[in-house]
Amino acid sequence: MRVDAARNLEAVLTTGAYMFAADPSVSIASIAAVAGVDRRTVYRQFASREELLEAIYEARLLAVSRGIEDARLSEAPVVVALHRYVENLVAVNRVWPVDVARMLANANEEVRQDWDSLAAEVDAFLQRAVDEGLLRSGLPEGWARVLLTELVQLVARQRPELNRGQAADVVVDTLLYGIGAPRERSGGLVG
């Protein structure tokens, strides 16, 4: 693929991710205009909105996979891997602001299976964090991953002024220590 064609494709995919996140009914012509390419260029690559969405989902999935690989979830010390994972996923969420629930509902079976595989890898890592005493045990299955995912998406959307490292500091601190002021436990939530 020529350099300018690759650059155009990247612009269409990232612009499409932002625009679909803001308005799921956005037209390909609108995406093309904002991406700075002719709509015929987009239609040469993607015969339909669904094909464009599928390409966006696959690009996000690849970015998540690379972020997980870079974090070295099974090899690095848990806190180091967690911080690196969050940094990477903040960057992914800022480039690919895709509604994951919508993505999984509309993606093909291969994308869903790949996503499930990545989720299992993160779950195994979070179990390692439980085993090492960094996260408490007894939470509902998958809860730590859901919470972590939501925190990453929240900081990526709501705190764009934070760089990746700062955003990861906030997420990791919140995940590991919560937001309550440290105090002695009295056996209940009140009093």
d(C-alpha 171, C-alpha 90), whole Å: 10
Q: Which of 31-40, 151-160, 178-187 has the lowest mean pLDDT?
A: 178-187
Query: pTM of the full predicted structure?
Result: 0.86
The CB-side HSE value for 80 (13 A sphere, CA atoms) comes to 6
Predicted confidence (pLDDT) per residue in 93-116, tens digit: 999 998 888 888 888 888 889 999
In CATH, what is the architecture of 1-47?
Orthogonal Bundle (1.10)
Tell me the CA end-to-end span of the chain in Å, nearest whole number: 65
CATH superfamily entry for domain 49-177: Tetracycline Repressor, domain 2 (1.10.357.10)
d(C-alpha 124, C-alpha 30), whole Å: 41
Q: What are the boundaries of each domain within the chain?
A: 1-47, 49-177
Predicted confidence (pLDDT) per residue in 42-57, tens digit: 998 999 888 999 999 9
d(C-alpha 14, C-alpha 11), whole Å: 5
d(C-alpha 41, C-alpha 43), whole Å: 6
